[in-house]
């Protein structure tokens, strides 16, 4: 049995699917898969494993689940003393002998790529042969622990399609996909820097696999290739295939290096359907000394120009990443890095904290750079010579505010308007985070309505902020995600709300539906009203013009951030 314990339900585990499908042809019975999340009770997961009574249990192990995996392995050992229990994955592939020594319930660790090692292991167990000398394994052999030589790299032409043809194994989850392995860069915080070279799945196979995703109209496919566009001609070939076979639904996520995009690539990307692609671009820092220490190659002026050009296309969501706690990055330096990236207006700004991964260059050089981190997963940085713990705590509050307000996609218009007035985003999120901590919200949490009210109350006290205009833009953000069940205290609009009777009267008019709701001409107005909303504003919150506007909000049609389609409408009283 393969056991995958994901961070969230929406994620699918690619590793166990590859392992199962690669091993299945050599086995009399296909391996079972148990896929759950860290939010499930440990007792429930153990019970599910026990009910299947597997003689072999292999856990997919990551930073977020390694503690739970070790606990489950120890408990299952008590229930099935003769079982073969092993682990594999990035968290255990390095210092594997020490990990095995610390966890006596485990028999083996699968290091690195697992397809060949797992298939050979299961074949040997099926044939009742000894498996302790197989390549790619670290094994417990009596009182000894032995690290066998590595497996040769897998020919990726042999990599099976990971999902069931009808995707019944991951019906509501994000589908992860891999078209290459390896990375050409040497970033010292990343385990991909250890591999040498990049190996590709043949393009013909990639196209065939992508056709399955497209035909099934899955919602999102995330490529896990570490630098998808390191071979720009290959990247364009895949992008071109996706554009030419677009189904109008599926979104594809790619991790790219912006500076590698050529003029031809940029011209092509301007032709992509809106929301068909999204890019994740690792910036990590704009401090040259920091980038040099971690061997990160950034051409900042080129990156800025390319990110801005892609943004001008208005068709591709961009996620930019920063890492706090890197060598030589102090609080003021991170302040500058944050504002540098924020000025590019990415759809998401991911602010993460450095994790000291076993096997990485920074793990090897931790004493050189004075990196002090937690002894338990996820081995997050505590402090550095440049960033004392009290400053790291302040950055934690900034991270929380960026997640709640910027990355949630629920405050897009209010934030855009706000930073047309304010000139230091980092200082704003820092002050907002300090208020958040002072009011003890980290301990007691926030409801959605409280999140909006807290934002309004904080921003309305800023001297340069017009509280009335702030309320209008914030009301727009609120209503784009849900019809208000009750009027929020901070709405404060002097404009008369559109009554239910007015809405139903409008929806009963064929001419109105033909103009604003094509395709709904024959729908029942009362049923249609349940899916829509009409909201009045004292200024045009879509254009910024100082004139009232009424917006029709269609909750059936949303963008990737969850915002409903908003259409300005003319009410009968305003028409000629």
Same domain, 393 and 373: no
For residue 576, the model assigns a pLDDT of 38
Same domain, 183 and 210: yes
Q: Are 349 and 282 in contact (CB under 8 A)?
A: no
CATH number at residue 320: 3.80.30.20
Q: Which residues pair with 2 in a beta bridge?
A: 33, 58
Of 121, 92, 124, 123, the residue nearest 109 (C-alpha): 92
Same domain, 370 and 392: no
Q: Are 430 and 458 in contact (CB under 8 A)?
A: no
For residue 193, the model assigns a pLDDT of 74
Tokens of 10: 């929406």
Task: Using a cut of 0.75, tell me whether the model's pTM lies above it.
Answer: yes
- Domain stops at, among 470, 505, 528: 470
Same domain, 30 and 142: yes
Domain count, the chain: 4
- Domain stops at, among 357, 387, 417: 387
Phi, psi of 146 (to 5 degrees): -125, 135
Q: What is the mean pLDDT of each run of 10 residues along the chain (576 residues)?
A: 95 96 94 95 97 96 96 97 96 94 97 96 96 97 94 96 92 95 92 85 98 96 96 98 97 97 97 97 96 92 97 97 98 98 96 94 96 95 98 97 96 96 97 95 90 96 95 95 87 77 89 88 88 92 92 90 90 54
Same domain, 376 and 398: no
For residue 572, the model assigns a pLDDT of 67
Tokens of 9: 């339900």
- Residue whose entry in the numeric block shows the structure tokens 């990307």: 269
Q: Is residue 432, in this structure, part of any structural domain at all?
A: yes
Same domain, 216 and 347: yes
**Cα–Cα distances in Å, from 494 out to 112, 483, 539?**
63, 19, 11
Same domain, 267 and 316: yes
Q: How far apart are CA 37 and CA 45, in angstroms?
A: 9
Same domain, 118 and 10: yes
For residue 85, the model assigns a pLDDT of 98
Q: Is residue 168, in this structure, part of any structural domain at all?
A: no
For residue 195, the model assigns a pLDDT of 76
Q: Is residue 166, in this structure, part of any structural domain at all?
A: no
Same domain, 40 and 113: yes
Phi, psi of 199 (to 5 degrees): -115, 140
**Cα–Cα distances in Å, from 75 out to 20, 65, 386?**
24, 15, 43
Same domain, 424 and 548: no
Same domain, 240 and 383: yes
Q: Is residue 156, in this structure, part of any structural domain at all?
A: no
For residue 574, the model assigns a pLDDT of 46
State which residues form the domain around 401. Answer: 388-470
Q: Is residue 45, in this structure, part of any structural domain at all?
A: yes
For the sheet with 220-223, list strands across it: 175-177, 220-223, 251-256, 277-284, 316-324, 348-353
Q: Is residue 10, in this structure, part of any structural domain at all?
A: yes
- Residue whose entry in the numeric block shows the structure tokens 């056991």: 3
Q: Is residue 484, in this structure, part of any structural domain at all?
A: no
Q: Are 536 and 495 in contact (CB under 8 A)?
A: yes
Other Cβ atoms within 10 Å of 436 Cβ, number: 20
Tokens of 335: 């302040």
Q: Is residue 164, in this structure, part of any structural domain at all?
A: no
Same domain, 6 and 79: yes
- Domain stops at, among 347, 371, 387: 387
Q: How far apart are CA 21 and CA 143, in angstroms?
A: 34
């Amino acid at each position: 049995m393969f056991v995958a314990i994901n961070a969230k339900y929406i994620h699918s585990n690619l590793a166990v699917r590859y392992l199962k499908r690669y091993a299945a042809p050599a086995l009399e019975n296909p391996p079972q898969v148990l896929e759950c999340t860290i939010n499930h009770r440990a007792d429930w997961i153990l019970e599910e494993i026990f009910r299947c009574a597997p003689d072999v249990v292999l856990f997919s192990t990551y930073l977020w689940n390694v503690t739970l995996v070790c606990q489950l392995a120890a408990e299952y050992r008590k229930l099935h003393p003769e079982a073969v229990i092993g682990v594999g994955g990035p968290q255990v592939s390095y210092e594997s002998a020490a990990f095995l020594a610390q966890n006596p319930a485990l028999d083996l660790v699968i290091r690195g790529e697992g397809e060949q090692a797992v298939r050979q292991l299961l074949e040997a167990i099926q044939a009742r042969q000894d498996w302790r000398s197989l390549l790619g394994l670290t094994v417990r052999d009596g009182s000894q622990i032995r690290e066998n030589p590595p497996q040769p790299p897998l020919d990726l032409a042999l990599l099976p399609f990971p999902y069931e043809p009808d995707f019944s194994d991951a019906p509501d989850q994000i589908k992860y996909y891999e078209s290459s392995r390896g990375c050409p860069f040497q970033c010292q915080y990343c385990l991909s820097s250890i591999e040498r070279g990049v190996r590709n799945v043949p393009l013909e196979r990639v196209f065939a696999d992508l056709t399955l995703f497209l035909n099934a109209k899955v919602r999102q496919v995330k490529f896990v290739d570490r630098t998808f566009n390191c071979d720009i001609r290959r990247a364009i070939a895949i992008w071109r295939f996706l554009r030419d076979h677009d189904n109008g639904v599926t979104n594809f996520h790619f991790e790219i290096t912006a500076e590698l995009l050529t003029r031809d690539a940029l011209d092509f990307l301007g032709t992509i359907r809106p929301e068909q692609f999204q890019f994740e671009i690792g910036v990590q820092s704009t401090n040259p000394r920091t980038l040099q220490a971690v061997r990160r190659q950034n051409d900042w002026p080129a990156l800025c120009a390319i990110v801005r050009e892609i943004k001008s296309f208005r068709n591709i969501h961009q996620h930019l990443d920063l890492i706090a706690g890197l060598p030589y990055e102090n609080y003021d330096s991170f302040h500058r890095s944050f504002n540098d990236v924020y000025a590019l207006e990415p759809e998401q700004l991911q602010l993460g904290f450095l994790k000291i991964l076993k096997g990485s260059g920074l793990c090897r050089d931790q004493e050189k750079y004075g990196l002090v981190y937690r002894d338990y997963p996820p081995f997050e940085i505590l402090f550095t010579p440049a960033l004392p713990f009290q400053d790291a705590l302040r950055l934690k509050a900034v991270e929380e505010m960026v997640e709640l307000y910027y990355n949630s996609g629920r405050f897009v218009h209010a934030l855009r308007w706000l930073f047309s007035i304010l000139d230091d985003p980092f200082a704003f999120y820092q002050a907002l985070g300090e208020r958040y901590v002072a009011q003890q919200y980290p301990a007691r949490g926030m409801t959605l309505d409280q999140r909006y009210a807290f934002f309004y109350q904080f921003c309305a006290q800023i001297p340069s902020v017009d509280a009335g205009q702030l309320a209008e833009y914030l009301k727009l953000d609120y209503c784009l995600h849900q019809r208000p069940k009750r009027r929020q205290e901070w709405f404060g609009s002097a404009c008369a709300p559109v009554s239910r009777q007015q809405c139903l009267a409008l929806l009963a008019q064929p001419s109105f539906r033909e103009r604003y709701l094509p395709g709904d001409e024959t729908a029942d107005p009362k049923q249609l009203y349940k899916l829509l909303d009409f909201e009045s504003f004292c200024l045009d919150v879509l254009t910024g013009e100082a004139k009232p506007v009424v917006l029709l909000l269609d909750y059936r049609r949303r963008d990737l951030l969850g915002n409903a389609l908003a259409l300005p409408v003319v009410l009968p009283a305003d028409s000629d």
